[in-house]
Amino acid sequence: MSRLAAIFSRRFFWRLFGLLLLACAIGAINLPKLQFNLEIEQFFPEKDKDLEFFLQFKENFEPDDNFLLVAFYKEDGVFDRNFLSEVRDFVIDCRDIPGVTTVQSLPLLRDVKLTPFGPITKPLVSLKSDTDFSKSVANLRGDPMYEGYLFSKDEKSLCAILKTEPDMSYERSDSLMDRAHQLIASSGFDEVHLLGRPYFQQEMVEFEKREILMSGAVSMVLVLIILIWIFRQWMPIVLALWSIGLSALLLLSFILMIGSELNALAAMFPIIMVIVGTSDIVHFYTKFFDEVKAGKSRRDAINLTVRQIGLATLMTSVTTALGFLTLATSNIASIKSFGIDAASGVMIAYAVTLLLSYLFLPLIPKEISMKVGRVSDHLAEPIVKSYFWAKARQSRIIIYSLILLGIVAWGISRVSGDYKLLKTLPRGTDITEDFLFFEEHYGGFRPVEFAVSLQEGKSIWDYDVLHGLDALETEISNTRAMNRPISIVSYVEMAHRIRSGNKNLELPTDSSEYHKSVALAQKIPQVFTESLVSKDETKLRVSSNIVDIGAEQIKELGEGLDRWIEANMDPAIMSVKRTGTSVLIDKNADFIKDNIFQGLGIALALVSFLMFLLFRDWKFLIISLIPNVFPLLFAGALIGFLGIEIEAGISIVFAIIFGIAVDDTIHFLSKYKLETAAGKSREEALQVTFRETGKAILITSIILFFGFLVLLFSNYPPSNTIGMLIAITLFTALVSDLILIPLLLRLLKV
């Protein structure tokens, strides 16, 4: 690091600084071009056979998420002529919304009646007179074709289905939703609930933008308070804030340049940049001002700081980046992207801090430099006291550590993957309230699908095909927490009901009646069959929903259906496989567990290699790893004891903990080795290390602790969990470093 400063002139660094400002200016101009990707597909496990099957199967159909559900709630019941007239007018207006292709709602449906002159249609719900209205309502009540689908079983909610263009972009969805909100506002309905892809896209992108601004603002305020408390002088504080701001802006510019998109974890970036940048700043500034107060010139002080702290801070930045890069081994696209972007941000923060420190710290007047850091000097006292306290209790510490390790193992054994979608939705938002509304009134929103492939020579209208599907639908309907499925069978059942005049939904058993019902079904306008039947009519889709009862219970019910399919469906007629987005998301827990261990194994190997290069001593390697593995185990135990379900966001906790926790260890051991190399004894070197490096470690730990606690202000439950876990675990990492490292140094006689 000192050679770096000697090789390149200060003029070179000023030119580099100019390029940095230019890059930030270009990035600031282009920031509005940053895109958000909050699609559910980014949480699918990549390179998975079930995903490959689902994607191939989906190519044969229209997308199943190209819809917007609009539910109208009326406390005293929806079967009111005036209310239904208002809904009809609203739905008709929705036909003109750009992006909406067709609409379906109870007031628009028509009933088919067979007459001697052929089939005729009339409104399913007659709004002309009270008598006709009462008769049509009486026929609708309890009808399985519409109840729980177009109106709720308690008759207090009515649902309109707006079919939209497939694979709509965020801009198109945003425009569609703006127009829909305008119609809702002008309609005068008391309570309206929404659900569907366009709504999800608009609401989540707006929420994510608010989260990023909030987390960035709160983090900067927190760091400002800490910097004021530490330095008490405006010049280093302004320089520190400038460094952090440039780092964050440069990261966003980098994300834009590589064509990456911000995902559901993007709210973590401001916090990571603030606390990682601040950690680097504290180590650089503390060392610089200590050297100035020791009598060195400002130029000598910065050169010594770069030489002694620059390399250690580079190593901590590399190890932190490696921690994030372990996420790149994940099978989940959003986590992989987050890991790469976060690792880039860590290195950007280091480079900016080093550059600005080298250029601007020597420009701070000496009289100000002499006053900086008085508060941090007092922090050395409790750190030194902890050294003597731990030294006097070495045997107890070993015993307590073994006991705690057993408790930790018990906690890890309690880790569960039974997560619910509700726990991943932002609190206090319309989208969460709407999700709960549809859960309560329409039997769940988590989709469950079955892919049906017909054997060669079979037709979708064959008797044995439809009766086989009917048996499958009956089993699905009888499964706990699952809603009545929809498939091509429904059209034949409807045709049979028209012919028989029977209110029940069932397939005809008589061969002649069956063929007549099929012939009629083929004449019924099949608005939504594009998502149920492939174009070549060799593949079918059976779609249902399930209440959000938890991933493990849903998995258990799904496996029960798989066993029923294997035992009852004739493979000579068709093959049936459970698939869909719900199956893929529910597999995440297993993938996340595997990715955590795989990623941490890679990180441990890489960090071990770097530690060996840094210290060139296997004893130091052991000493550096043990205090950093323990916090990871502690985090796993916390997840088990607190009943936190494993889901996509939790996987980043371990990468952050490992990447950041090892930083303090590197600073501690680097200082210790410098002191022993200078001729000091082990205990003398430990005391100096506790006194000088210890206060910087304590300050950075305080920043990290409160920095991640900022996430408790978020309305996003996974962010709350991540912030709490990381903050508490990093505190244990500090305790682990201060207690276990001296103990291990003595045991290994280093």
Separation of alpha carbons 644 and 637, rounded Å? 10
Which residue ranges in the chain fall short of pLDDT 70?
A: 1-13, 27, 30-31, 37-46, 62-64, 114-119, 373-380, 417-418, 524-530, 585-600, 602-603, 606-607, 647-649, 651
Instruction: Tokens for 347, please give them.
Output: 């290195």
Which H or E element spans position 252?
helix 234-257
Separation of alpha carbons 295 and 145, rounded Å? 87
Which H or E element spans position 296?
none
- Counting beta carbons within 10 angstroms of the beta carbon of residue 73, is it exposed (0 to 12), middle (13 to 18) or buried (19 or more)? middle
- Counting beta carbons within 10 angstroms of the beta carbon of residue 98, is it exposed (0 to 12), middle (13 to 18) or buried (19 or more)? exposed
Beta-bridge partners for 196: 68
Separation of alpha carbons 524 and 470, rounded Å? 19
Instruction: Tokens for 93, please give them.
Output: 């207006």
Q: Residue 407 in 3-state DSSP?
A: helix
Report yes or no: 168 and 198 within 8 Å, Cβ to Cβ. Answer: yes
Report yes or no: 619 and 729 within 8 Å, Cβ to Cβ. Answer: no
CATH architecture group of domain 67-164+168-202:
2-Layer Sandwich (3.30)
Per-residue pLDDT of 418-468, as tens digits, reads: 677 777 778 878 888 998 898 888 877 777 889 899 998 898 889 899 989
> In the CATH hierarchy, which top-level class contains the domain 9-38+232-413+587-747?
mainly alpha
**Residue 709, Cβ neighbours under 10 Å: how many?**
18
Phi then psi dihedrals of residue 450, to 5 deg? -130, 125
Beta-bridge partners for 543: 449, 486
Beta-bridge partners for 193: 71
As a CATH number, domain 446-547+549-585 is: 3.30.70
Separation of alpha carbons 357 and 353, rounded Å? 6
| Predicted pLDDT at 71 | 94
| Predicted pLDDT at 527 | 47
Nearest to 629 by CA among 592, 600, 594: 600
Instruction: Tokens for 36, please give them.
Output: 């958000």
Report yes or no: 322 and 658 within 8 Å, Cβ to Cβ. Answer: no
Report yes or no: 505 and 497 within 8 Å, Cβ to Cβ. Answer: yes
Instruction: Tokens for 489, please give them.
Output: 């069978």
- Counting beta carbons within 10 angstroms of the beta carbon of residue 285, is it exposed (0 to 12), middle (13 to 18) or buried (19 or more)? buried
Separation of alpha carbons 206 and 37, rounded Å? 12
pTM score, two decimals?
Answer: 0.76
Span(s) in the chain for CATH 3.30.70: 67-164+168-202, 446-547+549-585
Separation of alpha carbons 111 and 104, rounded Å? 13
Instruction: Tokens for 469, please give them.
Output: 């599907």
Beta-bridge partners for 131: none
Per-residue pLDDT of 502-560, as tens digits, reads: 777 788 888 888 888 888 777 765 544 667 888 888 888 888 888 888 777 888 888 89
- Counting beta carbons within 10 angstroms of the beta carbon of residue 432, is it exposed (0 to 12), middle (13 to 18) or buried (19 or more)? middle
Instruction: Tokens for 377, please give them.
Output: 């000097």
Amino acid identity of residue 398, one-letter, is I
Instruction: Tokens for 289, please give them.
Output: 């001002």
Amino acid identity of residue 696, one-letter, is A
Phi then psi dihedrals of residue 717, to 5 deg? -50, -45
Report yes or no: 452 and 541 within 8 Å, Cβ to Cβ. Answer: yes
Nearest to 736 by CA among 683, 678, 660, 673: 660
Nearest to 376 by CA among 699, 711, 114: 699
Separation of alpha carbons 9 and 714, rounded Å? 46
Q: Residue 483 in 3-state DSSP?
A: coil
Span(s) in the chain for CATH 1.20.1640.10: 9-38+232-413+587-747
Nearest to 329 by CA among 600, 588, 584: 600
Q: What is the DSSP letter of 262?
A: B
Which H or E element spans position 110?
strand 110-115
**Residue 61, Cβ neighbours under 10 Å: how many?**
19
Phi then psi dihedrals of residue 117, to 5 deg? -95, 5
Which H or E element spans position 541?
strand 539-546
Q: Which residues contact 63 (CB under 8 A, 6 or more apart)?
A: 166, 167, 531
